Chain A
């Protein structure tokens, strides 16, 4: 119990430190790498909550591939972020009040992992029993994800597909426009 507390305090303080560093950083590459580090710490956090599947996803998607894609996309961005000149007092107040409310509400939450908490009483027992008897695979997460919640996962896959297609379409259109502009420029230069 006490070791868990120490680990959680350690992870949260690292996350807090990365968050503050993110606020301070103006260099885009530094921001991307800090975001990646944040994801990695979040993955460790999920492991300490015994959610290995989520941790795996966070580490591979959040810390891995999205960092690569951000770095690839960074080529279109200026290297330095512009300095924020607007007042940050009001956003700070909103954040503090909201954070305070959330912390206050967290006292009403049931203890983490408590079997008698409402979330574990609703449909989870059915899934846990059914995963062994009806589906017969040991990883309950997979049986919920692919079978019980197959519709949702289908939707997720289609979302990934649609997002990919949309980005490809936008980039391709831009490319054509660049070409068009170039040919126009050539005509202007020649004429």
Chain B
């Protein structure tokens, strides 16, 4: 879409570090500021940047819509699934203590999974909204 070489090359250089930073924020949320919400938004920004610079078609090639919608639902299911799993193991909904060998280990696993679920849902909602808006705009233009 955009022929500007500076934008294209900058996007190519920035894409991987943004994803890496997203992963850092996602999994470092236990130790410093961060967590699923912020990480999800950072992930989404990488894919949105790609779609803005290289065009929606290329963006959808990189991150197809059906995978996007699947992951969107999977995040919520993962979060709820952790709750159900702790119920099946004989505790209350979202009591992570039973998930690991000790209480603390269980809490670590539970928080990690739950935050990952949040990150999945948030990032994919953002990407899906961007796709929808960008797509809608074009269908309106051809009117």
Contacts and interface: CB of A to CB of B under 8 A. Distances in A.
B110 A146 contact: yes
A160 B117 CA distance: 12
A142 B29 contact: yes
B30 A171 contact: no
A183 interface: no
A136 B104 CA distance: 6
A139 interface: yes
B59 interface: no
Interface residues of B, number: 53
B114 A150 contact: yes
Contacts of B115: 142, 146
A137 B108 contact: yes
Interface stretch (A10-18, A28-36, A62-70, A116-124): A62-70
B33 interface: yes
A64 B125 contact: no
Chain B interface SS verdict (over half): helix
Contacts, number: 146
Q: From A72, A73, A143, A158, name the one whose CB has the most chain B CB atoms within 10 angstroms.
A: A72
Contact of A134 (B103, B134, B143): B103
B108 A136 contact: yes
B107 A68 contact: no
A161 B73 contact: yes
Interface stretch (A52-60, A82-90, A101-109): A52-60
B36 to A, nearest CB: 8
A48 interface: no
Interface residues of A, number: 47
A178 B129 contact: no
Contacts of B96: 147, 150
B33 A52 contact: yes
B126 interface: yes
A146 B111 contact: yes
A93 interface: no
Interface in A142-165: 142-143, 145-147, 150-151, 153-154, 156-158, 160-161, 163-165
A153 B95 CA distance: 14
Interface of A: 52-53, 55-57, 60-61, 64-65, 68-69, 72-73, 75-76, 134-139, 141-143, 145-147, 150-151, 153-154, 156-158, 160-161, 163-165, 167-168, 171-172, 174-175, 178, 182
3 nearest interchain CB pairs? A164-B125, A72-B133, A136-B104
